[in-house]
Structures are given as C-alpha cells and as structure tokens.
Amino acid sequence: MEERPHSEAPPSERDVSGNLGHLRLFGIPVRFHFTFILLIIYLVVLALDKAESSTTTVIYVIALFASVLLHELGHAVAARRYGIRTLEIVMLPIGGVSRLEKQPHRMTEFWISLAGPVVNFVIAGLIAGYLAAIGKLPTVADLVRTSDQYMMARIAAGNLILGLFNLLPAFPMDGGRMLRAILSSSRPEHEATRTSVQVGMAMAALMALAGLLTTNFMLVFVAFFVYLGAMQESLVSTGRFLMRGELVQAAMITDFRVLHHGDTIRDAAELLLATSQQDFPVLAGDNVVGLLSRTALLRALATDGPDAYVAGAMDRNYISLVPDMDLADAAPKLARAGSCALVMNGEHLIGLLTTENLSEFLVLRKISRNISQSPHLDDAPN
C-alpha cells in the first residue's frame, strides 16, 4: 500500500547531504555531489597538457558530462517502462546514480541497469558511423596524440569507455546490479548481493593496487568510491532482508508527544528538551495538520523567535504510512520524508516511524536472527 497523499513535496526539494545545487531534466531532479567538482577539475587539468585549444577542452568536458546524464536518463526511461519512477539523479566522480522509488525485481533490475551502457554504446556507434561515412575515422594512435580535429572521435571513445566501465561487475556500477540480478534467479537476493559485493570489493582492491603501482591516483580515487558503493549496497540489502515480512506497526513508536496548532516555538523547544523525541506531529483538534522537525524548530527559534507559532514552521507536506504496510516498502518513503513519517489509521494518528527507531529495530532483529540460528547451549556436547 502507498502512503496517503498529503500534497507531498517533490523529492527534489529535500536536501541531500553532500550535494551542491541541482537542476531538473525531463522532470527528474539532477543533483551534483561535491566530489563531482573534483572530476571536472581533473579533466580540465588533464586536458591542458594536450595539444588542444581551450574551447575544444570545454566542449569535450561538457560532452562527457552530457553523456553521463544521457546514460542516467537511459536508466530512468527503462525504469519508467516497468512502472518505476526515478526520484533523482546524483552526479558522482565515477558517473551518475539514479535513485529509484523502489527496488526492481530480479531481471527487471538487469534490463534497467543495462539501459545506461547501451545509451553510451549507441552514442559511440553513431559518432563512429558518421566519421566513417565522411572518411575521417581516426586510428588509435591519432586519438592518443589528441588535437582539435579528433574531438568527436574522442567523445565517441569516451562513451565507449564509459559504457564498458559501467559493465564491470562491481557496485555501484551497472555491472554489479546486473550480476546480482542474474544470481538472484537461483538464490535469495541478500545472498546474491553478498556475492556481488565481494566481487566488487575484490575489483576495488585490484584497481587500488594498480593505481598505486602505476602512480595513477585517479584510479585509486575510483577504487575508493567502488569500495564505498559496494559497502553501501551491502548495508541496504541487509536492511531489506531484515525488514522482509515485517509491518510498519512492528517498528513504529507508539509512545510519543504532540504539539497543537496554537502552541508556540517556546512550547516546542521545552518539549524538545524534556523528551528524546526529535519530530513532533502538530494537531488541530484531533486532526493532524503538520509535522515539526528539530531542524525546523531551531530555524524558527533563530529567525522568528520563541513567541512564533508552530503552525508557521511546521511541514504541511508530511508523509504518512498505514500500520499494515510492509516495512521494506515503507523504508524508501521514510528516506524521502527525512527523519520521520507519521503512521495513520484512517484519520487517526497511531504512531511515528523514525530513521533512528527503524535502525534500532533492525539491530534487534539481526541479533534475534543470530540467536535463533546459533546452536543451543543444551545441544553442546559435554
């Protein structure tokens, strides 16, 4: 079941840690991670050492940037074909990451992942075909020398490399997801993910070693991101596995405090200090009209003062969930909400689902599973 609509703010309006600015492309928010700037600087500095004009260098960097965006749009189009919405695209030094509203199932993930590299291969093929038709297809030696006349060929080569690189069987590249999709056809998803993560971490180690031996620190940098991507995917997969079969009502907070529409920021601040709660539902009578987060509370305290009303600072675009919703489906919606989602039974507020409480629930569930799978002391030999 989906969360009930409450004029939900689009995901693009929610801040994401480490991202600098964003634009919208075909309705999809495109964000730039701060480390993406390092890649731009690296490409510019690298190009300055080549026999190219500054104009050609700028065009080449923009073309590669556009190729990465088209790659991610390929994922978005394929995902839409399977009824999955793309929440945002985040640009990283090793490419882009399309964040989908839900985890695709098995071979659906395979085809969505393959769509990105296919876009790059099509771009490379079209450019190479055009150059061959006009008799200006360069040799590999020509590309190595680099000059203004070979810019289009270099763009084609860049797309070919981008497509092949993303087919490597390592997270967060597309090849890692394709490998997981293939393995998932014969084993549980969390086991397929574990195998894919192990392959990815091994490849990251090999890339880092090769980078150190050849003093290619860009390769070491890429290996670092591949390693982080593999670890992150492992954590996400483990979380999905632990949440499988559990409902929102099993993890929600039922002992919570609320604010009222006529309360002031001073009232909210006192409640924040008196409890361990970070987010407070705001009621008008018995009806929920908003959600006041700790961040919004502190911002209002600094800008509007303690006598301002919580109604002016609360978020009216909160996300609500139903208690019998599968926890694995609720987790992505909680991530979109920020730190807290309201659990509603009809129009009645019955609980809160927070990222902190969900994390504690998963830790307890993991410990319980480990205990249940371990040998009983009574079974041990004397």
- Residues 130, 153: Cα–Cα separation, whole Å: 10
pLDDT attached to residue 115: 92
CA distances from 348 to 261, 310, 342 (A): 16, 21, 10
Q: Which two tokens stand for residue 94?
A: 């090793």
pLDDT attached to residue 189: 76
Annotated domain spans of the chain: 1-167, 175-244, 248-367
pLDDT (average), residues 292-313: 91
Q: Which amino acid is at 12?
A: S
Cα dihedral 76, 81, 82, 86, rounded to 10, equals 20
Which position has the higher pLDDT, 106 or 281? Answer: 281
Query: In the block, which residue shows the tokens 């700790």?
Result: 294
Residues 6+ apart with CB under 8 A from 349: 258, 281, 283, 288, 342, 343
Strand pairing of 86-92 and 95-100?
Answer: antiparallel
Query: What are the beta bridge partners of residue 90?
Result: 31, 97
User: Does position 282 have pLDDT exceeding 60, yes or no?
Assistant: yes
Task: Work out the burial of residue 254: count CB atoms within 10 Å of its CB; fewer than 13 is exposed, 13-18 middle, 19 or more buried.
Answer: exposed
The percent of residues above 70 in pLDDT, for the chain, comes to: 81
Q: Which of 286, 275, 281 is nearest to 316 (CA)?
A: 281
Confidence category of residue 283, pLDDT binned at 50, 70, 90: very high
What is the per-residue pLDDT across 32-61, written as a single tens digit (0 to 9) for each? 766 666 666 666 665 555 555 667 777 777
Do 241 and 189 touch, CB atoms closer than 8 A? yes
- Residues 10, 14: Cα–Cα separation, whole Å: 8
pLDDT (average), residues 66-83: 88
Q: Which of 237, 96, 230 is nearest to 171 (CA)?
A: 230
Contacts by residues 294-300 (CB-CB < 8 Å, ≥ 24 positions apart): 297/265, 297/268, 297/269, 297/272, 300/265
Name the 3-class secondary structure at 250. Answer: helix
Which position has the higher pLDDT, 276 or 38? Answer: 276
pLDDT (average), residues 193-220: 86
Q: Which of 245, 164, 234 is nearest to 199 (CA)?
A: 234
Which position has the higher pLDDT, 262 or 96? Answer: 262
On the CB side of 315, CA atoms within 13 Å amount to: 27
Confidence category of residue 267, pLDDT binned at 50, 70, 90: very high
Does this model's pTM top 0.75? My answer is: no
pLDDT (average), residues 80-95: 78
Strand pairing of 348-354 and 340-345?
Answer: antiparallel
Confidence category of residue 342, pLDDT binned at 50, 70, 90: very high
What is the per-residue pLDDT across 113-166, written as a single tens digit (0 to 9) for each? 999 999 999 999 999 998 888 887 777 666 666 566 777 888 898 899 889 988
Q: At residue 248, what are phi and psi to the nearest 5 degrees?
A: -55, -40
Do 278 and 352 touch, CB atoms closer than 8 A? no
Strand pairing of 259-260 and 279-284?
Answer: parallel
pLDDT attached to residue 48: 57
What is the architecture, at CATH level 2, of domain 248-367?
Answer: Roll (3.10)
- Residues 257, 296: Cα–Cα separation, whole Å: 17
Confidence category of residue 13, pLDDT binned at 50, 70, 90: very low
Which position has the higher pLDDT, 107 or 237? Answer: 107
What is the per-residue pLDDT across 239-251, written as a single tens digit (0 to 9) for each? 777 777 788 888 8
pLDDT attached to residue 21: 52
* 38-42, 114-118, 191-195, 198-202: segment of lowest average pLDDT: 38-42
Do 366 and 135 touch, CB atoms closer than 8 A? no
CA distances from 312 to 180, 264, 296, 297, 338 (A): 47, 10, 10, 10, 19
